[in-house]
Amino acid sequence: MAPVKQRLTRLSGRTSIFFAISWWAFGVRFWRAFIFTIGIIVAMVPEGLLPTLTLALVLATQRMARRNVLIRHLPAVETLGSTTVICSDKTGTLTQNRMLVNRLFLEDRFVSVAEAVRAQSATQRYRPFFLAARLCQDLKEGVRNGKTVFFGDPMDIALVEMAQTSQMEVPSGQRADEIPFDADRMRVSVVYETPDGAMLFCKGAPEKVLALCSRTQVGGEPRPFPAELRNAVIRAQEEMAEQGLRVLAFAYRFLESPWQHDRLEAELVFAGLVGLEDPPRPEVPEAIRRCQEAGIRVIMVTGDHPRTAVAIAREVGLVRSGAPRVITGDMLRNLSEIELRMALDAAEIIFARVGADQKLRIVDALKGKRQVVAVTGDGVNDAPALKSAHIGIAMGISGTDVAKEASDMVLLDDNFASIVNAIEEGRAVFQNIRRFLAYILTHNVAELVPYLAFALFGFPLALTPIQVLSIDMGTDTLSALGLGVEKPAPQIMRRPPRSAGDRLLNLPLALRAYLFLGLVEAAGAMAAFFFVLEKGGWRFGQDLAHGDPLYRQATTACLSAIIVMQGANVFLCRSATRSLSSTGFSGNPLIVWGVALEIALMLIIDYTRWGNAILGTLPLAREVWFVVIPLAAGMVFLEESRKWFVRRKLKDRAAAPSP
């Protein structure tokens, strides 16, 4: 909103030029030139614009909050409408983040969870595997409804719940050592004292864990890890990944005290694979379809296995072709900036096994291609990408405080569909601002013309400065705000994103507001003014005192004509192309209440003693209304005719054959 304030300040400063020109160049009397200058300032500076704009943005954030989107920075509301690319995480955003262990690969074959639990209960055959699943986590325990529950990562919760079904004895000692997870290592290792001695347990991405394993668990004992069995593990991982499962590998080793921290992860024993199911959110396929219709690209950026990412992308409709472009973190490290930008031109592209620093690189590459980028993130390491993106989106449920602080908006439900809803609201906000700009600028012209006629042609001043303020700050305020909270147009998400450089006050809007609606309203207001003067016997060149009843009635007619025509104009401004039969007169209670307020204030101004005293008005005769109301009807007819021609032109253009 800062540019708007600067433009209004410059406009106020330049009005002094009008004073100098009218006084010295045209020989207008000093006081007439002074009144003209004051009128120009009041008429051309829309005093209600800034508060109305602010209220419209605030109300938009409230609507977004009802749709599970919390806006942290107000300008982000408008920026959302120009978003061209969404870089989205997979887990918890596209999926439900409600994980369940689906398949296990232990020793040399797939086994069900129930089978593994039975074997563990009977023979302790898979004890190291279940211990690793139970201990490689940082969950918090709590009590809910009298039962012990876990709080934390849903993946860890699913693994712990699986391990608990085996009813094995868990070491009661404290964690003796650990190597925490990071995006480069893609694994975590912990050390516990057990009845069998100190043991290290490792959990992570299969390719990262397998590289550390020299032996494997077979028949309940560590055995050599031959190449054919290692290949069988890799094939099992790929098979589970192709089913859309999130695959983790577990390993362990016995330690001799004292152990060396920097040599913990060596000579490990492979314990097994886990495939976790995380079903897509049911709303996501429709949200992806809406993005595609709206010309918004969705790029999955995930730390999961490429096959898992592709499987989920197919399930939600993000990938339709047989061979999407898949770039892993290792591949991304070897790409130059030019190569990355060229890769981003692919119709379908997925980034898998990428780290937070690589997410930042992807965002910067898209910005270099002049895209307006929205990116999701939940971890501490995601903060740079969230800061760099035009719209940083943090997860409200799983997100860290650091991620939320770096973001522009927070998803209260971590749902991708909420992002699409926010973009729809952002597009609607931009259109709504244009609607009330057209509405406000229309009456600015109607307020300006009386001062031009006063200064240049010597007509009596048809509208006093305080009457202008009564329109700007009184009668029009609620109606303009009503336009600012219009619901999104039915086709708003079937149009391409607007250009980031597209200005609010563009040429079509200026022509419609200033040279069409504004001139029509100004002509109607001046017609009402001169109707009262002529009926009262006034002739051109005759001076009228400010307190003359005829003059006060004439200015009242001009003011009332503007108010009535603005009451009709607010419905016309709901759409630049759709007819009144399409937009209707209902569906927006604030506009209805705004028009009711306009009528009430107009009656108070015209027909109450203190309204007459404050604004210099007098009650109007009945026949004046027989002029004012047809003038408003004529404005409706002319604008509806213009819209009809525009719709016909657009229809003909759409039906024309391509060259």
Three-class secondary structure of residue 150 per DSSP:
strand
User: What are the catalytic residues?
Assistant: 89
Burial 570-605 (b: 16+ CB within 10 A, else e): bbbbbbbebebeebeeeebebbbebbebbeebbebb
Q: Name the nearest CA neighbour of 380 among 363, 355, 362.
A: 355
- CATH classification code of 46-68+422-653: 1.20.1110.10
Residue 50 and residue 5 in contact, taking contact as beta carbons nearer than 8 Å: yes
> What's the rounded Cα separation, in Å, for the pair 296 and 299?
10
> What's the rounded Cα separation, in Å, for the pair 196 and 264?
17
Average pLDDT of the segment spanning 329-349: 93
pLDDT at 571 exceeding the cut of 80: yes
Specify the pLDDT at position 24. Answer: 45
DSSP classification of residue 504: S
> How many C-beta neighbours within 10 Å does residue 170 have?
14
Q: What is the pLDDT of residues 615-648, one digit of tens each?
A: 999 999 999 999 999 999 999 999 999 999 999 9
Q: What is the pLDDT of residues 22-81, one digit of tens each?
A: 444 444 455 555 555 665 666 666 666 777 778 878 888 888 999 999 999 888 888 888
Instruction: Give the CA distances from residue 358 to residues 332, 335, 392, 404, in Å, rounded to whole numbers and listed in that order.
Output: 8, 11, 16, 20
Where do the domains of the chain lie? 46-68+422-653, 85-96+280-414, 100-277
The two beta strands, 213-218 and 221-224, are antiparallel
Comparison of pLDDT for 13 and 301, the residue scoring more: 301
Comparison of pLDDT for 382 and 19, the residue scoring more: 382
Strand partners, 377: 394
Specify the pLDDT at position 21. Answer: 46
pLDDT at 159 exceeding the cut of 50: yes
Average pLDDT of the segment spanning 559-568: 96
Specify the pLDDT at position 545. Answer: 84
Fold of 85-96+280-414: Rossmann fold (3.40.50)
Comparison of pLDDT for 350 and 59, the residue scoring more: 350
* % the chain with pLDDT above 70: 92
Burial 422-432 (b: 16+ CB within 10 A, else e): bbbbbbbbbbb
Residue 445 and residue 593 in contact, taking contact as beta carbons nearer than 8 Å: no
The architecture in CATH of the region 100-277 reads 3-Layer(aba) Sandwich (3.40)
Average pLDDT of the segment spanning 381-405: 92
Average pLDDT of the segment spanning 78-88: 91
> What's the rounded Cα separation, in Å, for the pair 115 and 616?
92
Q: What is the pLDDT of residues 466-489, one digit of tens each?
A: 898 888 888 888 898 889 888 888
Measured in degrees and rounded to the nearest 5, phi and psi for residue 567 equal -60, -35
* % the chain with pLDDT above 90: 56
Burial of 196 (0-12, 13-18, 19+ CB in 10 A): exposed
Please report which confidence band the pLDDT of residue 12 belongs to, taking 50, 70 and 90 as the band edges: very low
Burial 633-656 (b: 16+ CB within 10 A, else e): ebbbeebeebbeeeeeeeeeeeee
The pTM (predicted TM-score) of the whole model is 0.83
Specify the pLDDT at position 76. Answer: 86
Residue 52 and residue 435 in contact, taking contact as beta carbons nearer than 8 Å: no
The dihedral built from the CA positions of residue 480, 484, 488 and 493, taken in this order, carries a sign that is positive
Specify the pLDDT at position 43. Answer: 60
Q: What is the pLDDT of residues 643-656, one digit of tens each?
A: 999 999 888 776 66
Specify the pLDDT at position 534. Answer: 92
Instruction: Give the CA distances from residue 642 to residues 230, 504, 579, 637, in Å, rounded to whole numbers and listed in that order.
Output: 74, 21, 10, 9
Specify the pLDDT at position 58. Answer: 84
The dihedral built from the CA positions of residue 646, 651, 656 and 659, taken in this order, carries a sign that is positive
Specify the pLDDT at position 19. Answer: 46
State the chain's mean pLDDT as an integer: 87
Q: Name the nearest CA neighbour of 380 among 359, 362, 364, 356.
A: 356
H-state helical runs in 165-226: 206-210
Give CA torsion, residues 313, 319, 323, 324, to 10 deg.
-80
Specify the pLDDT at position 290. Answer: 94
Identical fold, 46-68+422-653 and 100-277: no
> Tokens standing for 253?
């080793």
